[in-house]
């Protein structure tokens, strides 16, 4: 069983990224990476990308991921190499149906071609390592489904090469919502939204204030009801995810919105503060961070080589000596 997942450095990490993905990156044999190639599918600033990549990699290490599992995607050229091979097995029809492409690009002539082929890169990420589990939040389901389709098709057309991955859904925190707009996902790329997005490296007093100011719903009753009470339901989901509780059960313990908010703020900080401390320690030791990332890179290069080679041969690309 191998678990793999990536996070795109398109903004600073949020509580949603942590609860939906990062804290589930626990497999000692797993592969967890900063998906910096994915961050170039929309207009980007190279200097900012370098800084965000470093911050994210350090935060992943600070989250206590198993040693040797963390790396930076562009350090392992096999990802881009296999992505091209998979583009040659994917269809315009299926890529056009991707929600992310439709939302961010479709129809605009200045959309980057890489936004369209992005799911092939993500499929390459997953298939290179014989991954069978992909811990992601709910917004990535469609991409993992595509990776499954691509693997099945490749194996059928070119011979058994790839493991077909499972989608590993989180029981909770599938989709943490924005605190100010609780029908929308909390998103790291929403840079203008300082109030509704909890960033893992924001000062604790700012985070507490954000939770206390979260939009609530009319009526004063605390109840888990996504349709009628999206704001309260989101707070209950966050509280439950941070305390390993059950959001429906937890609702019964709170007579008022205020009490729920105060406990949610405490629970969020109990998760975030140790992470911030470890981040500060690691960030002050850049050589140690470099060493840990080099270890992850070398292991990923080794582990990805056989499947890339197998795919190269299967597709008829055996070159000199191959």
Helix ranges restricted to H, the chain? 15-20, 46-62, 78-87, 92-96, 99-104, 113-127, 141-158, 204-212, 230-243, 247-251, 257-283, 286-314
CB of 163 to ligand TYM, least distance (A): 14
185 belongs to the catalytic site = yes
User: Which of the residues 185, 229, 252, 261 is marked catalytic?
Assistant: 185
Q: Which is nearer to ligand TYM, 20 or 182 (CB)?
A: 20
Which 3 state secondary structure label does DSSP give 98?
A: coil
Asked if 198 is part of the footprint of ligand TYM (rule: CB under 6 A), the reply reads no
Interface of this chain with ligand TYM, residues 5 to 24, rule: CB under 6 A = 5-8, 16-17, 19-21
Answer for which of 23, 31, 35, 117 binds ligand TYM (CB under 6 A) is: 35
Q: Which is nearer to ligand TYM, 48 or 252 (CB)?
A: 48
Decide if 317 contacts 91 (C-beta within 8 A): no
Asked if 38 is part of the footprint of ligand TYM (rule: CB under 6 A), the reply reads yes
Interface of this chain with ligand TYM, residues 276 to 315, rule: CB under 6 A = none
Q: Which is nearer to ligand TYM, 25 or 254 (CB)?
A: 25
Q: Which is nearer to ligand TYM, 49 or 288 (CB)?
A: 49
Asked if 83 is part of the footprint of ligand TYM (rule: CB under 6 A), the reply reads no
CB of 153 to ligand TYM, least distance (A): 18
CB of 134 to ligand TYM, least distance (A): 5
**Residue 286: both structure tokens together:** 């850049």
CA dist 244 and 97 (Å) reads: 35
CA dist 316 and 171 (Å) reads: 42
CA dist 174 and 186 (Å) reads: 11
CA dist 30 and 299 (Å) reads: 11
CB of 126 to ligand TYM, least distance (A): 5
- 246-254: long-range contacts (C-beta < 8 A, 24 or more apart)? 247/172, 248/224, 251/222, 251/223, 251/224, 254/222
Residue facing ligand TYM at closest CB distance: 20
In order of 145, 183, 250, the CA distances from 142 in angstroms are 5, 20, 31
CB of 193 to ligand TYM, least distance (A): 12
3-state SS, one letter per residue, for 161-190: CCCCCEEEECCCCCCCECCCCCCCECCCCC
* CA 127, chain centre distance (Å): 17
Interface of this chain with ligand TYM, residues 120 to 179, rule: CB under 6 A = 122, 125-126, 134, 136-137, 139-140, 143, 173, 175-176
CB of 307 to ligand TYM, least distance (A): 15
**Residue 60: both structure tokens together:** 């992943």
- Strands 70-72, 31-34: parallel, antiparallel or unpaired by DSSP? parallel
Q: Which is nearer to ligand TYM, 173 or 232 (CB)?
A: 173
User: Which of the residues 102, 169, 177, 188 is marked catalytic?
Assistant: 188
User: How many chain residues touch ligand TYM (CB under 6 A)?
Assistant: 26
CB of 176 to ligand TYM, least distance (A): 4
261 belongs to the catalytic site = no
**Residue 42: both structure tokens together:** 């929309």
User: Which of the residues 104, 169, 229, 277 is marked catalytic?
Assistant: 104
43 belongs to the catalytic site = no
- Given the rule CB under 6 A, which residues bind ligand TYM? 4-8, 16-17, 19-21, 35, 38, 122, 125-126, 134, 136-137, 139-140, 143, 173, 175-176, 185-186
User: Which sequence positions are flagged as catalytic?
Assistant: 104, 185, 188
């Amino acid at each position: 069983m191998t678990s793999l997942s990536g996070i795109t450095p398109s903004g600073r990490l949020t509580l949603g990224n942590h609860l939906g993905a990062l804290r589930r990156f626990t497999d000692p044999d797993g592969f967890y990476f900063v998906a910096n190639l994915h961050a170039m599918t929309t207009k980007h600033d190279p200097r900012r990308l370098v800084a965000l990549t470093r911050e994210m990699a350090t935060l992943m290490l600070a989250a206590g991921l198993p040693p040797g599992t963390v790396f930076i995607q562009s350090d392992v050229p096999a990802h881009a190499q296999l992505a091209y091979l998979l583009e040659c097995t994917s269809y315009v029809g299926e890529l056009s149906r991707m929600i992310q492409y439709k939302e961010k690009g479709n129809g605009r002539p200045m959309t980057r071609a890489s936004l369209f082929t992005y799911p092939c890169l993500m499929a390459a990420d997953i298939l290179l390592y014989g991954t069978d589990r992909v811990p992601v939040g709910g917004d990535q389901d469609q991409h993992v489904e595509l990776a499954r389709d691509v693997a099945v098709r490749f194996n059928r057309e070119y011979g058994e090469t790839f493991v077909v991955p499972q989608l590993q859904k989180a029981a909770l925190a599938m989709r943490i919502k924005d605190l100010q707009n609780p029908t929308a996902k909390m998103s790291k790329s929403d840079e203008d939204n300082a109030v509704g997005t909890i960033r893992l490296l924001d000062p604790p007093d700012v985070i507490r204030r954000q939770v206390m100011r979260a939009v609530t719903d009319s009526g004063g009753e605390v109840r888990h009801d996504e349709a009628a009470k999206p704001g309260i339901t989101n707070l209950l989901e966050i509280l439950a995810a941070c305390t390993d509780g059950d959001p429906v059960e937890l609702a019964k313990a709170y007579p008022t919105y205020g009490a729920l908010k105060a406990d949610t703020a405490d629970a969020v900080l109990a998760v975030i503060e140790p992470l911030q401390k470890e981040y500060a320690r690691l960030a002050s030791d850049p050589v140690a961070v470099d060493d840990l990332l080099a270890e992850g890179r070398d292991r990923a290069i080794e582990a990805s080589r056989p499947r890339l080679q197998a795919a190269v041969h299967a597709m008829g690309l055996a070159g000199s000596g191959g």
